[in-house]
Amino acid sequence: MYETCSYFEKAIESYMEVKKWDRAMECAQQVRPAEMQEILMQKINKMKKEAYIADGKISKIVAGGDLSGLELLAQRGQWEECLNLSEKQSPQVLNKFLAQFARQYIQQGQFKETARVLSRYNSPAFQEMLPVYKTIAQDVLATVNDVELQILREMLQKLVKNLESVVGDKASPIYIEFQKYLMICHLLLLKGTCVTNNLNNINAKLCTSLLRYCKDIRADKAFLDAGDANRKVDSNDMAFIFFNRYIDLWDAIQDPDGNMIQENTDFEGTDVPVPYEIPLPEKNLLSESERD
């Protein structure tokens, strides 16, 4: 009735009260002068947005072209909805919110879940995200959990494939670094498969090969596993060398200041990192009695 009588402001108020936003907007478009029309349209959009937020219908804000709804979802930690809606916008929008999500989850120590989500969105390769991928890879490789390794491998496979097209040079340090992480992950999972299926000879070779990566994986476990694996196939000389280095590392972890590893003759001329390049974990895997 108000609209029929050209009482547009009253009509708009009535439409907004019953949340008929399209009718309110149609009514506002009839208002003159243009300045008043613009004021009323802004008011309608503001009230509509507030109503959607109150009703939890933030997706409708985004659907209307207002990407501030994505920021609101991110602030609330509603990442699944935020990322799903971001994916429908553009790769740039998705990458922006993936980076925000990843930073928050990495700070919370949720490396596995971060890797799972990044993999779900095809592990996009852009500069801001590379430190995140590196942090995830280093953490998962150091802890050696088969479930996490499988998730990491899937994430890295997609990332390396994307890097091929983005970087365009397999000799690039960035490509080489993440290809290395993928190789380590693959070897660790193969090692687990060999142990499960009693493939002792292959396992001994894998464990020995993994020693070249002991700056990236947990070094004391790598040497302990290599010793055990070689002993099982009667490569006792190799086992003795690896067990000795494990004991050196055990002592260094127990007393970092008083037990610097000096002797490296057994590994000279190999690609096994020298002792001072190997990062030490905070605690030993085995107690003193278990070690002996």
Whether 241 maps to a domain, the answer reads yes
Residue 53 has a pLDDT of: 58
Looking at residue 190, its pLDDT comes to 95
DSSP summary character for residue 274: P
The confidence score (pLDDT) of residue 256 equals: 78
Number of domains in the chain: 2
The span from the CA of 75 to the CA of 64, in Å, is 20
Which residues, 6+ apart, have CB-to-CB distance to 144 below 8 Å?
188, 217, 218, 221
The C-alpha torsion from 149 through 152 and 154 to 158, rounded to 10°, is -150
> Considering the domain boundaries, does residue 150 fall inside one?
no
What pLDDT does 284 receive? 83
Tell me whether residue 177 is in a domain: no
37 occurs within a structural domain:
yes
Its pTM surpasses 0.75: yes
Report if residue 96 sits inside a domain.
no
What DSSP state is assigned to residue 266?
Answer: G
Do 189 and 149 meet the contact criterion of CB atoms below 8 Å apart? yes
Q: If you compute the radius of gyration of the chain from its CA atoms, what whole number of angstroms results?
A: 29
Q: Is residue 168 part of a domain?
A: no
The answer to whether residues 290 and 247 touch, using CB atoms and an 8 Å cutoff, is no
Last residue within a domain, chosen from 39, 55, 71 = 55
Which tokens hold the place of 264?
Answer: 């490296």
Compute the distance between CA of residue 74 and CA of residue 97 in angstroms, rounded to an integer.
8
In a domain, 266, yes or no: yes
Q: Tokens representing 35?
A: 């300045």
Beta carbons of 68 and 98 less than 8 angstroms apart:
no
Per-residue pLDDT of the chain (292 residues; tens, 9 = 90+): 444 444 456 566 665 655 665 665 666 666 566 666 666 666 666 666 655 555 556 666 666 567 778 888 888 898 998 899 899 889 999 999 999 999 999 999 999 999 999 999 999 999 999 999 999 999 999 887 889 999 999 999 999 999 998 887 888 999 999 999 999 999 999 999 999 999 999 999 999 999 999 999 999 999 999 999 999 999 999 999 999 999 989 988 888 776 677 778 888 889 999 888 888 888 888 777 776 5
Q: At what angle do helices 21-28 and 34-54 cross, to 10 degrees?
A: 170
- Residue numbers of the domain that contains 9: 1-55
CA pair distance 265, 172, nearest whole angstrom: 33
- By the 10 Å C-beta count (0-12 exposed, 13-18 middle, 19+ buried), 10 is classed as middle
282 domain residue, yes or no: yes
Picking from 65, 119, 120, the residue whose alpha carbon sits closest to that of residue 93 is 65
**pLDDT given for residue 2 in this prediction:** 41
pLDDT attached to residue 277 = 86
Chain position carrying tokens 């020995």: 208
Helix residue ranges, H only, 29-90 = 34-54, 58-63, 68-75, 79-87
Q: How far apart are the first and last CA of the chain?
A: 93
> What secondary structure letter does DSSP report for 280?
P
